[in-house]
Amino acid sequence: MTACAKPSGPAPYNARMADPELKSKVEELIGANPVLLFMKGTPDMPRCGFSMRVVQVLDQMDVEYGAIDVLPALQPLREVTTEIADWQTFPQLYVNGELLGGADIIQEMYESGELGEALGLEQPETVAATPAAATTGDLPAQSPPLQIE
Domains and CATH numbers, the chain: 20-119 (3.40.30.10)
Backbone angles phi, psi at 73, to 5 degrees: -140, 50
Q: To the nearest 10°, report the CA torsion of 60, 64, 65, 66.
A: 130
3-state class (DSSP) for residue 139: coil
Q: What is the mean pLDDT of residues 69-92?
A: 93
Higher pLDDT, 135 or 85: 85
14: pLDDT strictly greater than 60: no
pLDDT in tens, 84-122: 999 989 999 999 999 999 999 999 999 999 999 999 988
